[in-house]
Chains A and B, each alone.
Chain A
Amino acid sequence: MDKARMWRRGVSPRLWLAGGWLLLALLAAIFAPLVAPQDPLAQDLMLERLPPFWLDGAEPGYWLGTDSLGRDLLSRLIFGGRIAFIVAFAAAIAACLVGSTLGLIAGYFGGWADRIISRIVDIWMAFPPVLFAILLVAVLGTGLSSVILAIAIIDWTRFCRVIRAEAMGQSRMDYVENARIAGYGRIGIMLREVLPNVVPSIVALLSLEMGIAVIVEAILSFVNLSISADDPTWGGIIAEGRLSIHQAWWVLVFPLITLILTVLSFSQFGEALKARFDPVLR
């Protein structure tokens, strides 16, 4: 299959690039106070809308330029990465725990459990996700934990749908029947036999979900509903950039590149993991 060839030849360097970017961004975020050249909140109207370093009028120390309040863009991006990664990890793991558990139960036990869980998933799928997220954060109040909770509440269905289908497939396999004949309990089989076989899908989905969580956080802070408006977030910087697009394009371009690289990296990881664990493609 051509995909298998692609995996052997093409994906590995891309995977290295993706991993390199994520590691770089993550380290910068963790060590933000050490790495950031300026205070991300310091306003200086003398330094407003400085262009990035290769253009005329740039100031040393403000590598990517400044926004309309004279705040250093690079430092804001680095600090914004903290929020992005916290949300990515926490929200994706929370969504994964809820969704995978329900999906496993629905897929393995079937019957009423499946009917109820599937109906709830149907109801969830009838919501426009972005609107649902905005509504939840408005209701829960802005703040980091609200954003994480909102994303988890919305996106658990992504895990549930896939894991349900996989667990359903697994539970029809011979080895499950054999385990039952050998006298294992239903919950024991689910956890010890079925779960390990769906873990690869869970891991791949987790990586994809992290990219999605980064985007949703950016969207929420874009409409000014993420954390407090003062803290730098990627979406918040984009909102500023959208406003001053004709005066200072760099305020929009750099966070956009950052977001695109991050999302592509997470999805590359997810795809690669999926291909790696998929017995057909392997």
Chain B
Amino acid sequence: MTARIFHREYEPRAPAKIYMLLQRFLIRLATMLITLFGVAVVVFVVIRVAPGDPIAMMLPPGATDADIARLRALYGLDKSIVEQFFIWLSGVVRGDFGTSISLRQDVLGLVFNRLPATLELAIVALVMAVAIGGVTAILGARERGTAVEAGIDIASGAALSIPDFLWGLVLILLFGVLVPIFDISGRVSPQLDLPFVTQFYFFESLLRLRFDLTWDLLKHMLMPAVALALPLAAIISQLLKQSLKEVLDLDYVVLARVKGFSETQVILREALKNAALPTLTLVGVQFTFLIGGTVIVERLFSYEGLGNMAIDAVINRDLPLIQGIVLVFALLFVLINLAVDMMYALLNPRLRHG
């Protein structure tokens, strides 16, 4: 059916393109919902199969059986697993993630309170990764075949092999202890008075031009962000350099060179545009890995984000909170993949013209 629409000659190009994108979007949206449902099922099964009674941990010693039963009923734990799942799922769809057992607060509220801190960290890390990876890729492509390129290759190889957890520890030692210029724990100095209305402290401090606060936030955020950024920067550097080197041999680039542009100009004005597309797709997938890395890196730096709260939730066996956090992470991951997929479809000339 779709094919017929494409091949009608009088069909204008633009609506066909929009139709194609819309169709692609809807298919992706459907798979995304299936994935999210699968995630919900897996989390629910994993947690409910768990031995150990979360209710028992909430009660003071000497609680009667009636107390326990009342509390079980309150949290819906007295019903069958399938019933519990659908009660929980229908709640989730309505935005009701339940009440945290350890913190006695609404799960959605807790998650939204912490999510901005994690998003800020991840976005700052992403920007750093793109900047570091982009600059080293361009430098490596310009200096291809020299010691500079070899040095970049070795550095990116090491940055890639060492995971964010270990980078975090290395940074703590270097810039927290040896040369103590950055803070190694927390999100912001506790004595500071924060005038913020959102939880996006860093971005809000920039908008309010409170650069004193920005600097304090940055001092806390920089090391975890670098730890998260380094492996991704290495991947970007390697892939972009490879694509650049391929593009640099093409005729139109050679032509630009003949016209008298310098090599840097050739790369920035001609090659980069066409070499960036494969990197873009990769960055999308890798960005979800980076967000996954925030869990342990936040723990390492006592940064008050979602990941740090998630580990506490697991240790406290706080089932509703764990479910809520994992689902929010999963939602974030599939949304990023969807966004990257649509961006790719929009930018890729081959897909753009059907």
Residues of A within 8 A of B184 (CB): 245
Which of A135, A138, A218, A260 touches B326 (beta carbons < 8 Å)?
A135
Interface presence of B291 (CB below 8 A): yes
- Whether A122 pairs with B31 at a CB distance below 8 angstroms is yes
Cα A259 to Cα B173 with chains together (Å): 15
Cα A233 to Cα B190 with chains together (Å): 33
Interface presence of B46 (CB below 8 A): yes
**What is the size, in residues, of chain A's interface with B at 8 Å between Cβ atoms?**
43
Residues 130-150 of A contacting B (Cβ, < 8 Å):
130-132, 134-136, 138-139, 141
- Whether A249 pairs with B177 at a CB distance below 8 angstroms is yes
- Whether B169 pairs with A138 at a CB distance below 8 angstroms is no
Known: A119-B38, A138-B314, A252-B169. A130 touches B295 (CB 8 A): yes
Known: A131-B292, A242-B300, A245-B172. A215 touches B163 (CB 8 A): yes
- Whether B166 pairs with A138 at a CB distance below 8 angstroms is no
Residues of A within 8 A of B334 (CB): 126
Residues of B within 8 A of A218 (CB): 165
Write the chain B residue with the least CB distance to A136: B46
Cα A256 to Cα B34 with chains together (Å): 41
Residues 28-54 of B contacting A (Cβ, < 8 Å):
31, 34-36, 38-39, 42-43, 46-47, 49-51
Interface presence of A229 (CB below 8 A): no
Residues of A contacting B: mostly: helix
Residues of B within 8 A of A245 (CB): 172-173, 176-177, 184
Cα A13 to Cα B51 with chains together (Å): 50
Fill in one digit per residue for B103-127: 1 if any A CB lies within 8 Å of its CB, else 0.
Answer: 0000000000000000000000000
Residues of B within 8 A of A246 (CB): 177
Interface presence of A123 (CB below 8 A): yes
Residues of B within 8 A of A100 (CB): none
Cα A130 to Cα B184 with chains together (Å): 21
Residues 96-148 of A contacting B (Cβ, < 8 Å):
119-120, 122-123, 125-132, 134-136, 138-139, 141
Which of B173, B296, B311 touches A249 (beta carbons < 8 Å)?
B173
Write the chain B residue with the least CB distance to A132: B326
Which of B38, B169, B307 touches A256 (beta carbons < 8 Å)?
B169
Fill in one digit per residue for A211-223: 1 if any B CB lies within 8 Å of its CB, else 0.
Answer: 1100100110011
Residues 123-181 of B contacting A (Cβ, < 8 Å):
145, 153, 158, 161-163, 165-166, 169-170, 172-173, 176-177
Interface presence of B221 (CB below 8 A): no
- Whether A138 pairs with B317 at a CB distance below 8 angstroms is yes
Interface presence of A264 (CB below 8 A): yes
Interface presence of B247 (CB below 8 A): no
Which of A2, A126, A130 touches B35 (beta carbons < 8 Å)?
A126
Residues of A within 8 A of B292 (CB): 127-131
Interface presence of A202 (CB below 8 A): no
- Interfacial residues, chain A to chain B (CB-CB below 8 A): 2, 6, 119-120, 122-123, 125-132, 134-136, 138-139, 141, 211-212, 215, 218-219, 222-225, 238, 242, 245-246, 249, 252-253, 256, 259-260, 263-264, 267-268
5 further contact pairs, Cβ within 8 A, besides A219-B296, A246-B177, A263-B163? A122-B35, A134-B295, A215-B165, A225-B314, A253-B173
Query: 18 A-B Cβ contacts within 8 A?
Result: A119-B34, A123-B38, A126-B39, A126-B330, A127-B329, A130-B295, A131-B314, A134-B314, A139-B46, A222-B296, A249-B177, A256-B170, A260-B162, A260-B166, A260-B170, A263-B166, A264-B158, A267-B161
